[in-house]
Copies of this chain bind each other. A is one copy, B any other.
Amino acid sequence: MGTVERKEREKESRKESIIDAAQKVFFEKGLLTATMDDIAEHAELAKGTLYLYYRSKEDLYLAVMMRGLVLLRGMFEEVIAQHYSTVRTLAELTNTFVRFFEHHRNYFRMFHFFNTPQFHKQVSEEMMTACDRCNESLWSLATGVLERGRAEGRIRTELRPIEIVIVLWTSASSLMMRIDSQGELFRQKLTVDLEHTLRVSNILLLESVMTDAGKKELSELQS
C-alpha cells in the first residue's frame, strides 16, 4: 500500500513543475511584471491550484531563487573540494561568484528582491526560514575557509570571519547588481568599465582583510 508515499512523490513533483513554470515566467518578465495567470498557463494549471502549493507569488519567487542559491553553493563546494591553499581558495571563491553572475544572471537578479524591505512582508514564515538556512549554508562554506586562514595567520583579526563574508558578499553583489542594471549607462556616460571596477574592488577587499603574509601570496597568484 505505497499510496501515501506515491502521493507524497506526486505532490513533490507537482511542486517542482510549478517552479519550472514560474522560473520560465520570472526569468522572462521579472517579479513585478510576471502574473500568476501567466505562470498558471505555463504550468497548465488553474490559478487557484498554484495557491494549493504556494502561499503567494513571492513565496513562489523565492522557491525559484533558492534553486539559484543551491546552484551557487554547488559551485562553491567544487572550488573548496580542489583543496587549494586558503588564500587561493578565497580568490577562487570570489571569481566563482563573478562567474555565477555572468553565467546565471537570471538567478542572480532574483537575489536583489530578497533584500527589498517591503518584499519580506508578502512571504510566509516557512519560506523565509528556508531561504535563510540556504543562505547560511552558503556563507558557512566561506567562513570555514576564513577560519582556516585565520589559524594560518593569513587573515587579519579585526573582523570575524562571518563579518568578512558579509562585507565581501554584500559589496560584490551590489556592484554586480549595478552592473546589471546600469552597466551600459556607466560605460557610455562616464566611460567607466564596471566589470573592471568589480575585479579590482574584489582584489582590494581581499587584500584589506589579509595579513602581510596573505597579501604576498595573493599578489603572487595574480601574476
Contacts and interface: CB of A to CB of B under 8 A. Distances in A.
Contact of A208 (B109, B115, B170, B205): B205
A141 to B, nearest CB: 15
B167 A175 contact: yes
Contacts of A181: 115-117, 120
Interface string A191-222: 01010110011001101110000000000000
Interface in A11-41: 30-33
A166 interface: yes
Contacts of A166: 175, 178, 186, 192, 194, 197
B180 A117 contact: yes
Interface stretch (A46-54, A70-78, A82-90, A155-163): A155-163
A204 B209 contact: yes
B115 A109 contact: no
A118 interface: yes
A208 B159 CA distance: 15
A116 to B, nearest CB: 7
A56 interface: no
B163 A197 contact: yes
User: Chain A interface secondary structure, helix, strand, loop or mixed?
Assistant: helix
A173 interface: yes
Contacts of A167: 171, 175, 197, 201, 204
Contacts of A112: 115-117
A197 B118 contact: no
A197 B115 contact: no
23 contacts: A30-B118, A112-B115, A113-B116, A115-B177, A115-B181, A159-B201, A160-B192, A163-B192, A163-B197, A163-B200, A163-B201, A166-B175, A166-B186, A167-B175, A167-B204, A171-B171, A171-B174, A171-B175, A173-B174, A174-B174, A204-B205, A204-B209, A208-B208
